[in-house]
């Protein structure tokens, strides 16, 4: 299992949650891919406009295959949602060590 972890400084909290939350538009899009496990959205308790998004997949290959097969749609979604945040930082791709 891998987890792709992103940090966001958000401009429109309600809309961001709608799009990036566990039942949001991105998660619904990913559900079409083999190996997608789910999305977790975590909000900073001190800075309410800062979030972590954690997308979990069975493997790096499953994620890469999904992105490759859906590149055009993926990029369209990126372009349509960029206005929801001031900053996006990909913290990395992590895997279980057990």
Per-domain boundaries in the chain? 2-92
Q: What is the pLDDT of residue 25?
A: 96
Angle at alpha carbon of residue 10, lines to 50 and 29, rounded to 5°: 100
Helix residue ranges per DSSP H, the chain: 13-20, 25-30, 60-69, 71-81
What would the pLDDT profile of 6-36 be if each residue is shown by its tens digit? 999 999 999 999 999 999 999 999 999 999 9
State pLDDT tens for residues 49-94: 999 999 999 999 999 999 999 999 999 999 999 999 999 999 999 9
What pLDDT does residue 96 have?
Answer: 87
Confidence (pLDDT) at 13 = 95
Q: Is residue 98 over pLDDT 90?
A: no
CATH architecture of 2-92: 2-Layer Sandwich (3.30)
Give how far the C-alpha of residue 45 lies from the chain's centroid of Cα atoms, to the nearest Å. Answer: 20
């Amino acid at each position: 299992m891998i987890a792709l972890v992103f940090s966001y400084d958000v401009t429109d909290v309600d809309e961001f949650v709608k799009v990036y939350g566990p039942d949001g538009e991105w998660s619904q899009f990913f559900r079409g891919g083999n190996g997608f496990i789910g999305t977790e959205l975590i909000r900073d308790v001190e800075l309410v406009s800062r979030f972590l998004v954690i997308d979990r997949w069975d493997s790096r290959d499953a994620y890469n295959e999904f992105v490759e097969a859906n590149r055009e749609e993926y990029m369209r979604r990126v372009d349509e949602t960029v206005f929801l945040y001031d900053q996006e930082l990909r913290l990395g791709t992590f895997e279980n060590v057990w």
